Structure formats: structure tokens, C-alpha cells
Chain A
Amino acid sequence: MKPPIIDSSPIISLAVIGRLEVLEELYSHFCLPVQVFEELQFHLTRHISNAKDLIEALKPRVLILKNALQSERTAPHPGLGERACLVLALETGITNLLIRDKHAKTYAEQQGWFCFGTMALLLSAKKQGLMLELRPYFETFAASGRFYTSQLLNHVLSLAGEQLL
């Protein structure tokens, strides 16, 4: 798969479970816009003990947009980071996006781009043997303030062939 552009939420979710390296293993040349990087710096510093190392590891992945975001009209009602991902895709021609937000995904899919979210990424990581079980990570989400509905998590666990929460 060609390397994707990645929004902040999937990175935060992987950082919370201590498995950010999975991104590197799956997509060795992924990238993110500087606006997403700034969101990450704020969040990781507050929540992750080794945030400094993670931030340093992400720095080489950061791309700066050529066009000012304010002048771009992309999907209706995306946030700054999500908008930056879409603009970066327009500028670079990278058409794979790891992004969770529905508005951004709808816009991207209208452009013929490919989008997927954290849950599908986790299933892919398990399929490729990078994660043995997803259930412990889902329990960590709950304990770390990443609240997903149990219905969603249990569906993913059933797809992964694991015991439900």
C-alpha cells in the first residue's frame, strides 16, 4: 500500500496503547501535515509519559502545506487538522488517508481517494501478526479516556475472532 496521510486521532489511539511503531511497520513512509503535528504535541505531552520521544520520532514525517488553509475550501465542517490532511492530499497527490472523521472521509471519497480509520488499521495489524490480541488494547482505551462505544469495539473483536468485552 502507498503511504498514507495520517490525522491526529489514529496516532493518539496508537500512542495511548503504546503501539505507535505499528504505523512505521505497516506504512514506512507515512506523513502528516504540520497542523496535525501541533495537535499531537499538545495531546501527547499531556497524556503520554514518553511523549518527547514520540514527538521527535514523528518530526521527520511532518509536511508543511504550500497553500494557506484559510483559502482552501474542502469538506464542509472539518476541523483544522482534518482540513490540513485533505489539503495535503490535494497538494501531494497522496490518495490514501488514515482519518476517522466522517465529513473528511466523505469529501475524500468524493475525490476518489481511499480512507480508513483506526479500527480497520488495528484489524490489519492483527492480520499481519503485528498485534496478537486487540482486546487488551481496547481495555486500555477505556482506562485511558479514549471512549468508543462497546458496540463498536465488540464488533471489531468479533471480526478479529476474540472474546467480547
Chain B
Amino acid sequence: MNVIDIAPSKAEELDQFAGNDMPLGRRLRIWGAISLNLEGKVSIGNAAEIAEMHKGAFEDYLSDHHVPISLLTIEDVMRDVETIRKLDKQ
């Protein structure tokens, strides 16, 4: 059997992200979902599914914990602006 040892600092992160009044399994699920989203591995909608939360509720949760709901970079915004410019010319 594989045993996962959670370091104290990680446990604090779990508390911060998921609230220490939740069962550990639920906290791990939410923490994992947030981590995967922040690492760019899954979309926010997919992260909400992993966390077993509604997308809107998941976004609320992120915002409540000062985790950005958008991972867009400045370059992304510039590209989007250029896209709109192209589309407006069509």
C-alpha cells in the first residue's frame, strides 16, 4: 500500500484552500483541482468537475481564497485584442 505523507506546510495549504471543517478527502480533491488549474493542466471548468463543484461555485471559491479565476497573461489579452480587430474588419 502506498502511504502519502502530507508535510505540515502542505496541511496548512490544504486548510487555507479548502477549509479545515471539510473531510480530508474533500479538501484533497479541491486542493488538487486548484493545483491542476493553476499549473495549466486542466481548464477551470474541468477543475470544477474534479472538485465536484459547480463551475460558478468553484469560481466563487477561488475568489474567496484570492486565487485568480483567470490565468490569462498580458500576451493573451494582446492576442485577443488583435483577434477582435481582425474580426471587426471582416
Real binding pair: yes
- B70 x A1 contact (CB < 8 A): no
Given contacts A77-B46, A124-B84, contact A117 B55 (CB under 8 A): no
List, in ascending order, chain B residues with CB within 8 A of A82's CB: 43, 45-46
- B76 x A146 contact (CB < 8 A): no
Interface of A is mostly: helix
Count of chain B residues with a beta carbon within 8 Å of a chain A beta carbon: 38
Judged by a CB distance under 8 angstroms, whether A46 is at the interface is yes
Given contacts A1-B90, A151-B74, contact A81 B80 (CB under 8 A): no
Given contacts A145-B63, A147-B63, contact A100 B70 (CB under 8 A): yes
A: contact size bracket? 35 or more
List, in ascending order, chain B residues with CB within 8 A of A80's CB: 45, 49, 55
List, in ascending order, chain A residues with CB within 8 A of B41's CB: 77
| Contact bitstring A110-130, B, C-beta under 8 A = 1, else 0 | 000011111111011000000
- B46 x A117 contact (CB < 8 A): no
Q: Which residue of A lies closest to B54 (CB)?
A: A42
- Which residues of A line the B interface, CB within 8 A? 1-2, 8-9, 12, 39-40, 42-43, 46-47, 75, 77-83, 96, 100-104, 114-121, 123-124, 145-149, 151-152, 155-156, 159
**17 A-B interface contacts by CB (under 8 A):** A39-B56, A42-B56, A42-B57, A78-B46, A79-B46, A79-B55, A100-B70, A102-B40, A104-B43, A115-B83, A117-B80, A119-B80, A120-B81, A120-B83, A146-B59, A151-B74, A159-B81
- Which residues of B line the A interface, CB within 8 A? 40-49, 54-57, 59-60, 62-64, 66-74, 76-77, 80-81, 83-84, 86-88, 90
